Structure 1
Amino acid sequence: MRRSFAFKCTLLVLGWVLVAIAALQVPAHQFWPAAFLGLSLPVALVLTGGLAVYWLLRNWRVALLPILMLVLMWPHVQRGFALHPLHLVPSGEKAAGQKVQLLSANVRIFNVYAQLRDKNFSSSRKLIKWLAEQPADVICLQEFYNEPRPSRTNKDVFQSVRRIGPEAHRTPFVSVTLRNAIGAEFGLAIFSKFPIVHRGTIHFGKLTQNHAMFADLRLPSGDTIRVYNAHLQSMSMDERDIVDSYSSKDGLKAKGVGLLRRFKRGLVARSRQVDELVQHMQQCRYPILFCADLNDLPYSYTYDQLADHLQNAHATIGNGIGTTYNGRLPFLRIDQQFASSQWAIDDFGVHYEIPYSDHFPLTGTYRLKK
């Protein structure tokens, strides 16, 4: 009786895995509740692993079922918890080919607002200085902020284009979505040590802070590549509200409906945005590097559509969860770097030592295959 019940539970969990993976293919603008099934996939995969161990101790033939499922779904396991302990950065002949080092980060408008800033703009100065001093060939920034001229209150702290761009021998391309009363610029930015031969923006219908940009770069090898920088729709959900909603029944009643409404709105918007991005990339004839604040998890339609066409840097060579969100909500990897199949990914990492924004910066090293 016990074995029969355990076997039925095993089949149920394996079915759960398959349904959850299928749900990742459903765009939220067609059926948004499917997202909850997709988000449940890590739980189903963990249970599958537990069942594999359980049956190995009791009946190895039955154990083959969950083991086979894990083998077949290993790329989905790697999305949530990557395992590449033996990966080494290539050297010598193995490292032949044009390399590009890409740094990306959501810089949270360099903490310019009063509720974000600290004394003497210390974190703002440190972050801009750190970015300017990085050896990266290309830097892509979301929630970018720049003051073209020194201001009376901020002086020259936020002249970020000048410092990360020309002073660091990089060409700037800023996609400005908003200018305030003092002429300060908000938007996205790409900085490149390579010549920019073509550039453009993707508005997603209306140009807001949530949009995408691209730049075609000419490498010393003579190859042309395309770099995308995107900031997809946020949930507009305060993390304090999220914590309150699951801390108590009263918190859930007070915050739950509003959070669900915003959650749905974000899902629907991102599903349309990623569809437009993928369509745009499919028309590109150059090798692609893509970086973004996706505002979505690896078990989502957004990530799944990108992973269907590109290789994710962390999932390909990284280790562990790869958390990128620097806030009260743990284990969130919402910032990503992807590369098309023409690239080999030599190195990738998250800069946990740089805590000046609510997102940690990422750096990847990519090599064009010969």
Structure 2
Amino acid sequence: MKILNVFVGIITLILFSSVFVSPEYLPYVGLLPFFIPVAWLLNFFLLCIGILSWRKWALIPLAVLLIGYRFTEITFQLNSPDEVSTPKVQVLTYNAHLFDYKRRLNGGEFDANVFKWLQEHPAEIKVFQEFYNDRTSSSRNALKLLGEDVGFESSYHVIDGQEEKRSYGLAIFSKYPIINEGKVFDNQRTNGAIFADMVIDMDTIRIYNSHLESMKINSDGLEDIEGVRDNYRQTLGKLHRGSLTRSRQLKVLVEHISFSPHPVILMGDLNEVPYSYTYFKLSENLKNAFETAGRGFGFTYNRILFFLRIDHIFSSPTLKAVDFKTHREVDYSDHYPVSATFTLPNSQDF
């Protein structure tokens, strides 16, 4: 039994270490972190057996779990909302799936309630991935419905289509004045990253809206054992290629953030679980709002792989998250909206 604990411990430590290695430098290393939750649970199981049987080898899984305490922090939180009276700003990120997910999934007519919910949400800054705008239709003109109609300014980057008619891309909406905007990158198909600088009270904050390379997993094909057997090879290949592309996009994004003259809030569908090189690389200089103010597991994916948290909100350390929510009641997309509330830099005591 001791040998088994040592073996499992070594494998787990290797998996823990994999999040610090870019897939650009070691092929397929991006797949290893997916096994971290399984390894963590196995060590916890061995620890329980060791404790119940009063075995000294229980110290092995205990040591492994203590070394990997960071993975517990990023998985589950029990924070309570921090009631503060200082100036604060609320943000929201949403992969909108073209605002047409339910019709595409079940047929029928377009559901305009998605715009009603988004208009009524109190966030002063809202960013969208897979944003679709149709200027030829009053019910699908998202730029007008989420911008002009509610008094928000907007920054919109078209990835595909014609902006004056029908188009697709990334969008940032703000109740505050936008004084600068730009593109970080796009792949001219579906993914990319943009930014906008806005004046909030006496502060200028840079907002990043990022949609990193999609996993492209056929989740419908993983609903049963037969589907898993038929699709696992293809899925592993997609996961590998996706993690490699995201690591290259991440390099561009991190460099851009490093030159920001203002505190930043990075939001979006990063297509990465917390056990990933991307998550840990961003965490080197930014704080994750879920870890600071979240509760529960914070899963953000609205499909069969419901246990994924791939929509994230990061910020500069000078912006403290005091609340974080995953809006699981909002099922207009294959992602749930995620919101967070931050105190502003000039409202904090440093």
With the length of structure 1 as denominator, give the TM-score of the two structures: 0.86
**1:104 corresponding residue in structure 2:** 93
Question: Which residue does the alignment assign to 1:211?
Answer: 192
Instruction: Please state if 1:226 is matched with 2:206.
Output: yes
Cα deviation for residue 62 of structure 1 reads: 4.7
1:190 matched to 2:134 = no
1:11 CA displacement: 2.3
1:84 maps onto 2:73 in alignment: no
CA distance in 2, matches of 1:38, 1:355: 28
Q: How many residue pairs align between the two structures? A: 346
- Pick which of 57-66 and 306-315 moved more: 57-66
**Structure 2: any 5+ residue segments left out of the alignment?**
none
What amino acid is the match of 1:286?
H
- What is the correspondence of 1:118-157 to structure 2 with a 5 Å cutoff? 118-122=107-111, 125-150=112-137, 156-157=138-139
Write the distance in 2 (CA, Å) between the matches of 1:130 and 1:114.
17
The equivalent of 1:269 in structure 2 is 245
SS of match in other structure, 1:336 = strand
> For residue 153 of structure 1, what is the aligned residue in structure 2?
none
Cα distance per residue 1:25-56 (max 9 Å; x no partner) = 22222223212322111112122222333333
Q: Please say if 1:25 is aligned against 2:4.
A: no
- The 8 Å contact of residues 101 and 332 in structure 2, kept in 1 or not, is answered as no
Q: Which runs of 5+ in 1 are unaligned?
A: 151-155
Where do 1:1-370 residues align within 5 Å? 5=1, 7-59=2-54, 62-80=57-75, 82-84=76-78, 87-91=80-84, 95-96=85-86, 98-111=87-100, 115-116=104-105, 118-122=107-111, 125-150=112-137, 156-179=138-161, 183-204=165-186, 206-220=187-201, 222-243=202-223, 247-248=225-226, 251=227, 254-368=230-344, 369-370=348-349
8 A contact 1:298–1:333 mirrored in 2? yes
- 1:253–1:75 distance in 2 versus 1, CA, 3 Å: closer
Q: Deviations over 1:189-223 (max 9, x none)?
A: 0000111111111125x433210001111111x11
The letter of the residue matching 2:12 is: V
Return the alpha-carbon distance in structure 2 between the equivalents of residues 303 and 173 of structure 1: 26
| Fraction of identical pairs, as percent | 32
Report the secondary structure of 1:20's partner residue. Answer: helix
How big is the shift at 1:276?
1.3
**In 2, Cα distance between equivalents of 1:116 and 1:56:** 49
Contact 1:171 1:191 in 2 (8 A): yes
Q: Which has the larger radius of gyration?
A: 1
RMSD of equivalent CA atoms:
2.3
CA contact (8 A) 2:81 2:293 kept: no
1:70-89 deviation line (CA, Å, top 9, x unaligned): 33422211222x1325x242
Q: In the aligned structure 1, how far is the partner of 2:154 from the partner of 2:105?
A: 25
Secondary structure of the residue aligned to 1:259 is helix
Q: What is the distance in 2 between the residues matched to 1:168 and 1:118?
A: 30
C-alpha distance in 1, partners of 2:25/2:144?
Answer: 44
TM-score, normalised relative to structure 2: 0.91
3-state SS of 1:119 partner: coil
Residue identity in the other structure for 2:195: F
Deviations along 1:280-339, one digit per CA (max 9) or x if unpaired, are 111113111111111121112222211222121222332222111111223111111111
Check 1:47–1:259 CA distance in 2 against 1; reply closer, same or farther (3 A cut): closer
| Distance change in 2, residues 1:48/1:356 (3 Å) | same
The answer on whether the counterparts of 2:96 and 2:128 sit within 8 Å (CA) in structure 1 is yes
Paired residue secondary structure (1:203): strand
Structure 1 residue 113: Cα displacement? 9.7
